[in-house]
Amino acid sequence: MGLLEYALLAGLLYGLYFALVAAGLNLIFGVMRIINLAHGDFLMLGAYGAFYLYHLMGWSPLWAVPLTFAAFLALGLPLYYLLVPRLQRSGDPEMRSFILFFGLSQIIEALAVFAFGNDQRSIPARVFGNHPVHLLGQVYPLAWILSAVFGLLGIVALYAYLYGSPLGRATRAIMANPDEAAITGIAVQRISALTFGIGIALAALAGIFSPFMVGAIQPDLGVGITLISFAIVVIGSLGHPLGTLVGGLVYGISLMLMQTYLPSWSQMLPFVLLIAILLVRPGGLLGKGVRRA
Q: Would you state the pLDDT for residue 3?
A: 85
**How far out from the chain centre does Cα 189 lie?**
23
Integer Cα distance of 145 and 14 in angstroms: 9
Min mean pLDDT across 50-54, 91-95, 164-168 is at 91-95
Q: Does 276 have pLDDT greater than 90?
A: no
User: Can you give the pLDDT at residue 131?
Assistant: 80
Q: Does 2 score more than 70 pLDDT? A: yes
Task: Give me the percent of the chain exceeding a pLDDT of 70.
Answer: 97
Q: What mean pLDDT value characterizes the chain?
A: 89
Note if the pTM is more than 0.85: yes
Question: Which phi-psi region, left, alpha or beta, contains residue 131 (left: φ > 0; alpha: ψ -120 to 50)?
Answer: beta
The Cα 273–Cα 64 span in angstroms is 33
Give per-residue pLDDT as tens, 170-212. 999 999 898 899 999 999 999 999 999 999 999 999 999 999 9
Whole-number pLDDT of residue 105: 96
CATH code that applies to domain 3-120+133-280: 1.10.3470
| CA nearest neighbour of 193 among 28, 26, 13, 34 | 28
**What is the pLDDT confidence band of residue 15, given thresholds at 50, 70 and 90?**
very high
Band of residue 128 on the pLDDT scale cut at 50, 70, 90: confident
Helical segments of 177-220, H only: 178-183, 188-208, 210-213
Answer yes or no: is pLDDT of 278 > 90. no
270 by Cβ neighbours in 10 Å (0-12 / 13-18 / 19+) ranks as buried
Q: What are the beta bridge partners of residue 139? A: 134
pLDDT score of 110 more than 80: yes
Region 237-260: mean pLDDT is: 86
Query: Given pLDDT bands bounded at 50, 70 and 90, which one contains residue 288?
Result: low
Q: Hey, how many other C-beta atoms are within 10 angstroms of the C-beta on 286? A: 21
Look at residue 73 and give its three-state secondary structure: helix
Residue-level pLDDT at 112:
96
pLDDT at 290: 46
3-state DSSP assignment of residue 140: strand
At residue 126, does pLDDT exceed 50? yes
Write the pLDDT tens digit of every residue in 43-76: 999 999 999 999 999 899 999 999 999 999 999 9
User: How high is the pLDDT of residue 1?
Assistant: 57
With b meaning 16 or more CB within 10 Å and e meaning fewer, what string describes 132-144? eeebeebebbbbb
Mean pLDDT of 250-277: 83
- Predicted pLDDT of residue 275: 82
115-124 burial code (b ≥16 CB/10 A, e <16): ebeeeebbbe
Predicted pLDDT of residue 208: 96
Answer yes or no: is pLDDT of 81 > 70.
yes
24/158 Cα distance (integer angstroms): 10
AA identity, residue 265: W
Mean pLDDT of 17-27: 94
Cα 125 to chain centroid distance, Å, stands at 21
User: Which stretches within the chain are classed as H helix?
Assistant: 2-32, 39-57, 61-89, 93-116, 142-164, 166-176, 178-183, 188-208, 210-213, 221-236, 243-261, 269-280
At a CB cut-off of 8 Å and minimum separation 6, what does 128 contact?
Answer: 60, 61, 62, 142, 143, 146
Q: Which residue has the higher pLDDT, 130 or 39?
A: 39
**For residue 147, what are the CA distances in angstroms to 52, 195, 211?**
19, 23, 10
CB 43 within 8 A of CB 218: no
Task: Tell me the C-alpha distance between 139 and 137, whole Å.
Answer: 7
Rg (CA), the chain: 19
